[in-house]
Structure 1
Amino acid sequence: MQKMSYLSPLLFLLVDVCVVLGVRQAQLSPLLIPHPFVVLWAGGLLRAFALLFLTYTYPGTLPWMKSFEGIQTVCVFSFLSPAYITFLWTIGRSAVERLWGWHSWEALLQSYVVIAVSLLFWIRYMPNILSKETQKPTKKNGASLQRLLGYMRPHALRFTAVMTLVIVSSLGEMAIPHYTGKMTDWIMNEDEPEAFSHAITVMSVITIMSALCEFVCDLIYNVTMSKIHTFIQGLVFQSVLKQEIAFFDKSTTGEIVSRITTDTNTMSESLSEKLSLLMWYFWRVIFLFGFMLNLSWKLSLFTAMGLPIIWVIPEISGKFYQKLSKDVQASLAKANEVAMETFSSMKTVRSFANEDGETERYQKRLEETYSLNKKEAAAYAVSTWTNSMSSLALKVSILYYGGRLVTGDDVSSGDLVSFVLYELQFSSAVEVLMNYYPHVKKAIGASEKIFKYVDRTPEIPPDGTLAPQKLHGHVQFQNVTFSYPKRPAILKGLSLELKPGQMTAVVGPSGGGKSSCVNLLERFYQPEQGCILLDGEPLQSYKDEYLHQKISVVSQEPKLFARSLKENIKYGIEDASDEDMIQAAKSAYVHEDIMKMQNGYNTDAGSKGDMVSGGQKQRIAIARALVRKPKILVLDDATSSLDTRSEEGVHKALAKMRKELQCSVLLIAHRLSAVERADHIVFLQDGKVQEEGSHDQLVQRGGLYAEFVKKQNTSIHRNAAEETSG
């Protein structure tokens, strides 16, 4: 079967030659066949039928030939010649020679060369286009070039000016080839010396003006695209900030930052640079081909037919080079794996004295790479040679054909010079268009990831409408059930109450749901069952901004920003007075520490607050919460890094504040010294309230909380004994 597959192209060619010769014999008998076009198309049908019949009956047929693309190829192969000859006849060109021209083997061979080139283009481009058109339409997420260009609409006036300058500058660049040809004619004719000097002057002025237009165009375009880039980056950042907290749980920080920075920059650079080049060279191609047509339509048509050939041939030769390049990279990766494995296990290698063995193993990998490198070098040379030879062949062909037109007085020598200069620029411009269009597609690809964020609807309920002038801060959890995505239930019918002017402490083992209560209270997540009431109204009924102005949270590991301490304390409430800020800092027992710093409140906290100690960071975070004068204050193990004196002072300040402001305080702590100060204690375990009451009541009850206190005291005594013995 494999040998039959190898012989199938020869068999197909033999059958086709027989069919063609039969059609040729019919067309050489005009007396018998009064309508040669009928024979021509009948021959095409016979050719297609014979090849399709052979395709589906011959056992050695390649699978590709039975596909939809294979059927397309057979049809093109069979009907190209009849269609071409009929087209020439319909536009009034002489087709008689071609209609009866299969009278020699040279003409038959020439026809196969033309068909082979046509098939080359068809197989390379058309099946891809048709297959894309027949695919089922997929839902787009809005990321398209049209959408990206839509951000340019507010700057339509600027882009109109840019387009005008591009057209003027492109037309100005046509002056040099045009006047070069004219001067060639004048030099050969040895006349009009004044016209020669005048042409030099005009050409210089036009070129300078063209360069000036290009400068102004680039300036306006780049400034405008920078503004659009800034707008899109800000839009993406704003869209990400509006997402629910669960979104940030699923997406890594690196991924989000990469979308906002790397992908946005990639998109903007591709649009800014590559779209500019596409626009610039598009107009150059239009004007260059227009001038080429004006000089000689025959040479222009010859060039248009030759350009695709010099693009496809290097692409074919370059595919082998690209494959070898991938093989070289894969071979290098294998060699690197040997090196990494050896270095990471160096103790084992040394223990078994196998340094020479590992060296030999690595050397074998390098020899494989070297062998591939030699093939890659040869493939690169062939690819470069085919590029140069195909371009050279086109230029020589143009000069040869142009020389014949000059001999026949169809064009002048100067026009031929101008045409060649135009053709050089035209082929380069078309190549730029083909090379940089994929970069614009890359920008669209990068924008797809970006606009996923822009178009994403946050999975949170709509913002509420309540924003009362006076809020008491009375919170009630009523039979709340909650679980995180893909995790078992954390809270199971939880009910607890936070009363104004009181401190409620929630204690219990890790994983019991303490932090989940804080997340629900801040409305980061929504309960699955039950509800949370604030002053008798559902929590989701309040405006989000209002709610977070009234609730302040201090976590165990608070986050400070790389800004001044003043900005950190006033974060989110910049209109607070300096007096309020200082008072809050004093209540948090951090004012004195700040004043000892070199720049006081203007001291930079550093990245993530690493310029201050852990205890100072917690107290600054407490000051940030107190300056807002909240109605609900949540301390999530917020005093764990404080010394005894600072903790005592902070709790005194909190007691004073909750009496003055009548705010509700939710304390989550593991240290007994903090819990004992609470007015009400809730012991939480397995997502349920197991016990609640005052410290004395729960200790006397001898339940879970009493066991918790006993373990705390045992741990304290053990640590004290270890310190004494140490």
Structure 2
Amino acid sequence: MNKEKTSSGDIIDLDVLRRIFQFVKPYKFRFYSLVALTILVAFLAPALPFLVQKAIDGYILAGDYQGLVYMTIALVSLLVVQGVVQYLHTFLSGWLGQHVIKDIRIKLYQHLLNLRLKYFDNTPIGRLVTRNVSDIETLSDIFSQGVAAIIGDFLQIIVILSVMLYIDWELTLVSLSTLPLLILSTYVFKEKIKVAFNDVRNAVSNLNSFVQEHITGMSIVQIFGSEKLESDRFKEINEEHKQAHLKSVMYYSIYYPVAEVIQATGIGLLVWYGARGVLNDDVTIGILIAFIMYINMFFRPIRQIADRFNTLQLGIVSSSRILKILDSNEHIPNNGTHAPDHINGEVVFNNVWFAYNERDYVLKDINFDVKPGETLALVGATGAGKSSVINLLNRFYDIKRGDILIDGVEIKEYDLNILRHHIGVVLQDVFLFSDTIEKNITLGNPDISREKVIEAAELVGARKFIERLPGGFDYNVMERGATLSVGQRQLISFVRAMVYNPKIIVLDEATSSVDTETEELIQEAVAKLMKGRTSIVIAHRLSTIQSADQIIVLDHGEIKEKGTHQELLDLKGYYAQLHQMQYKEVV
């Protein structure tokens, strides 16, 4: 398994931050409201100690009961206003974050839907799941605990410091004499926790990739008795995950007590120096008490700011990962405008060359022409290039050289959705989603009615077994169709192809994994499905393709033989040898 290693970097990536904030544009009014509330919170914070000072010096020590009542009302009113403003600030930042990440998640998923299969061949699925779930969730912290919170903290520090200097600059300098120590410890903590958090994100991504991959391949693990080996590998990855978290816990457990001691030292120096001022009548008791409140309010955002910077940085790391996927050009360009309602189904491969990478060609100078309604069969050993022909016809991959035409039109000129709508594919490995049989047949297409599904199931011969299941067409097949047999899943895939009524049918080893009785059922359905349609069939069982209009024998990406079943037997070449071998097996 490829383990992910990424770095959070040394500074905040402003370019990434700018691009992420492009998603805020639809919510500009709420964003500006959040900025206004942030500023308001910063200016309301120092008002409480100021009123407390006035209440003590102006009314309590003076014995002015009536004035104290008014001041109490003012204090309570201020607390109510602060509570309301803080509520609106917290709610709005959370609301904005959730709406933005909803939009980003939709955009990311839509982008993933249009990536070419090559991208998924080279990228662990668990890593993509992490991007679409965990990384986007982390990104929301940019709005709820990142930019707005950091701006608010800095504003609050500036406002409090200004008020303190205005009231008594000497007392301010004494009480903040420990500030350099706090700034130093905060910086060290920020750097350490940044690395720890980055390790945690990498560990989560690696853990997700491992679990997703091995749960999907659990049958292979159990067949080969690798449970102990895989358990040990999981323990190793899980241990890395635990250690990454414990490292961050250790840094927190050291930093916060150190910060509390530094703050307490500052308050101690303030009380010592302030008490002397009170005794000398240079400082009032109200000012001393207010300064103690100011110090608590001043040090709190400084302690939090390191955390917020790392939260922001983690959000930016997640953002850069997401933007890296969004910036990927690994998608099939859909620039075609040809979108016919009907095609005849002629398929032409003209000097086609194709490689999954830039060097190793898996198809070399492939030429064939399938007339409308004809059947082409592809034969060859594993790795000969048969499935690549199907992938190219559907534009899952694009060719390197040559032309592929349908009805005389290059497939790149077709609208991609229309092109694939006219091509029905039945694969050997049938994938079913965890949903009802009907939804797996229609793939959620509202234009396909229940009646059309039943009609197609009747034609294929699948209706009887479907209606015997609990709920019939509403039966949930569970993930990958685990509750159905191989033959049943194959029949459902035939119904799926039938309801879309394609003009071109591709059958990739469609009967190689079923029993004889089910194969006979499928062969009847195949005959009906292929009637009046252009068909391209891949099969190891040569008995299923003897009636094909044209058979092509592929070997290492090249066409070695071409002709009808009888013509190829008369050649006494590769096809004849393969036929003889299979005939002996049957005998």
Q: Kindly tell me: are residues 583 and 321 of structure 1, through their superposed partners in 2, closer, same or farther at Cα, counting changes over 3 Å? A: closer
Matches within 5 A, 1:80-159: 144-159=16-31
Moved more, 569-578 or 254-263: 569-578
Structure 2 contact 145–308 (Cα < 8 Å) conserved? no
Matches within 5 A, 1:326-337: none
Higher Rg of the two aligned structures: 1
User: What is the CA–CA distance in structure 1 between the aligned matches of 2:192 and 2:484, rounded to whole Å?
Assistant: 60
Q: How many residues align?
A: 526
Structure 2 contact 178–265 (Cα < 8 Å) conserved? no
Moved more, 598-607 or 299-308: 299-308
Q: 2:115 aligns with which of 243, 252, 259?
A: 243
Structure 2 contact 187–306 (Cα < 8 Å) conserved? no
Report the equivalent of 2:394.
522
Report the equivalent of 2:436.
564
Tell me how far 1:400 sits from its aligned partner: 3.6
Q: 1:432 aligns with which of 294, 297, 304?
A: 304
Aligned partner letter, 2:315: A
SS at match of 1:287: helix
Q: Kindly tell me: are residues 636 and 572 of structure 1, through their superposed partners in 2, closer, same or farther at Cα, counting changes over 3 Å? A: farther
Q: Percent identity?
A: 29
Report the equivalent of 1:680.
550
Aligned partner letter, 1:664: T
2:160 is equivalent to residue 288 of structure 1: yes
Q: 1:606 aligns with which of 478, 482, 500?
A: 478
Q: Kindly tell me: are residues 380 and 454 of structure 1, through their superposed partners in 2, closer, same or farther at Cα, counting changes over 3 Å? A: closer
User: What is the CA–CA distance in structure 1 between the aligned matches of 2:128 and 2:269, rounded to whole Å?
Assistant: 55
Report the equivalent of 2:497.
625
Tell me how far 1:439 sits from its aligned partner: 1.3
Listed as ranges, the gaps of 5+ residues in structure 2 are: 1-9, 196-227, 230-249
Structure 2 contact 505–535 (Cα < 8 Å) conserved? yes
2:546 is equivalent to residue 668 of structure 1: no
Report the equivalent of 1:709.
579
Q: 2:78 aligns with which of 206, 229, 240?
A: 206
User: What is the CA–CA distance in structure 2 between the aligned matches of 1:198 and 1:264, rounded to whole Å?
Assistant: 49
Aligned partner letter, 1:297: W
Aligned partner letter, 1:523: R
2:474 is equivalent to residue 583 of structure 1: no
Aligned partner letter, 1:478: N
Tell me how far 1:182 sits from its aligned partner: 2.5
User: What is the CA–CA distance in structure 1 between the aligned matches of 2:193 and 2:157, rounded to whole Å?
Assistant: 30
Moved more, 571-580 or 222-231: 571-580
Aligned partner letter, 2:496: R
Report the equivalent of 1:259.
131
User: What is the CA–CA distance in structure 1 between the aligned matches of 2:510 and 2:34, rounded to whole Å?
Assistant: 59
Tell me how far 1:230 sits from its aligned partner: 0.8
CA offsets, 1:510-559, max 9 Å, x none? 11111111111111222222221211122211111110000111110011
Q: Kindly tell me: are residues 487 and 637 of structure 1, through their superposed partners in 2, closer, same or farther at Cα, counting changes over 3 Å? A: farther
Report the equivalent of 1:697.
567
User: What is the CA–CA distance in structure 2 between the aligned matches of 1:320 and 1:507, rounded to whole Å?
Assistant: 60
SS at match of 2:140: helix
User: What is the CA–CA distance in structure 1 between the aligned matches of 2:470 and 2:192, rounded to whole Å?
Assistant: 66
Q: Kindly tell me: are residues 617 and 382 of structure 1, through their superposed partners in 2, closer, same or farther at Cα, counting changes over 3 Å? A: closer
Q: What TM-score comes out, normalization by structure 2 length?
A: 0.82
Q: 1:501 aligns with which of 373, 381, 386?
A: 373
Structure 2 contact 378–537 (Cα < 8 Å) conserved? yes
Tell me how far 1:451 sits from its aligned partner: 0.3
User: What is the CA–CA distance in structure 2 between the aligned matches of 1:459 and 1:205, rounded to whole Å?
Assistant: 59
Q: Kindly tell me: are residues 678 and 652 of structure 1, through their superposed partners in 2, closer, same or farther at Cα, counting changes over 3 Å? A: farther
Report the equivalent of 1:546.
418
2:405 is equivalent to residue 533 of structure 1: yes
User: What is the CA–CA distance in structure 2 between the aligned matches of 1:697 and 1:321, rounded to whole Å?
Assistant: 73
Tell me how far 1:319 sits from its aligned partner: 10
CA offsets, 1:105-136, max 9 Å, x none? xxxxxxxxxxxxxxxxxxxxxxxxxxx89xxx
Q: 2:93 aligns with which of 216, 221, 241?
A: 221
CA offsets, 1:281-316, max 9 Å, x none? 344323322332332233334545541234326877
Q: Kindly tell me: are residues 380 and 257 of structure 1, through their superposed partners in 2, closer, same or farther at Cα, counting changes over 3 Å? A: closer
Tell me how far 1:389 sits from its aligned partner: 4.9
SS at match of 1:524: coil
User: What is the CA–CA distance in structure 2 between the aligned matches of 1:316 and 1:453, rounded to whole Å?
Assistant: 33
Tell me how far 1:165 sits from its aligned partner: 3.7
User: What is the CA–CA distance in structure 2 between the aligned matches of 1:651 and 1:604, rounded to whole Å?
Assistant: 26
Q: Kindly tell me: are residues 417 and 245 of structure 1, through their superposed partners in 2, closer, same or farther at Cα, counting changes over 3 Å? A: same
2:34 is equivalent to residue 162 of structure 1: yes
Q: What TM-score comes out, normalization by structure 1 length?
A: 0.67
User: What is the CA–CA distance in structure 1 between the aligned matches of 2:126 and 2:395, rounded to whole Å?
Assistant: 25
Aligned partner letter, 2:349: F
Moved more, 288-297 or 271-280: 271-280
SS at match of 2:145: helix
Q: Kindly tell me: are residues 283 and 630 of structure 1, through their superposed partners in 2, closer, same or farther at Cα, counting changes over 3 Å? A: same
Tell me how far 1:257 sits from its aligned partner: 1.2
Q: Kindly tell me: are residues 543 and 512 of structure 1, through their superposed partners in 2, closer, same or farther at Cα, counting changes over 3 Å? A: same
Tell me how far 1:619 sits from its aligned partner: 0.9
Q: Kindly tell me: are residues 236 and 380 of structure 1, through their superposed partners in 2, closer, same or farther at Cα, counting changes over 3 Å? A: closer
Structure 2 contact 186–303 (Cα < 8 Å) conserved? no
Q: Kindly tell me: are residues 232 and 669 of structure 1, through their superposed partners in 2, closer, same or farther at Cα, counting changes over 3 Å? A: same
User: What is the CA–CA distance in structure 1 between the aligned matches of 2:67 and 2:536, rounded to whole Å?
Assistant: 94
User: What is the CA–CA distance in structure 1 between the aligned matches of 2:455 and 2:352, rounded to whole Å?
Assistant: 37
Structure 1 contact 177–422 (Cα < 8 Å) conserved? yes
SS at match of 1:151: helix
User: What is the CA–CA distance in structure 2 between the aligned matches of 1:166 and 1:219, rounded to whole Å?
Assistant: 12
CA offsets, 1:133-188, max 9 Å, x none? 9xxxx9x8x85222223322321222333344444455444443223223332577
SS at match of 1:144: helix
SS at match of 1:681: strand
Q: Kindly tell me: are residues 713 and 485 of structure 1, through their superposed partners in 2, closer, same or farther at Cα, counting changes over 3 Å? A: same
Report the equivalent of 1:82.
none
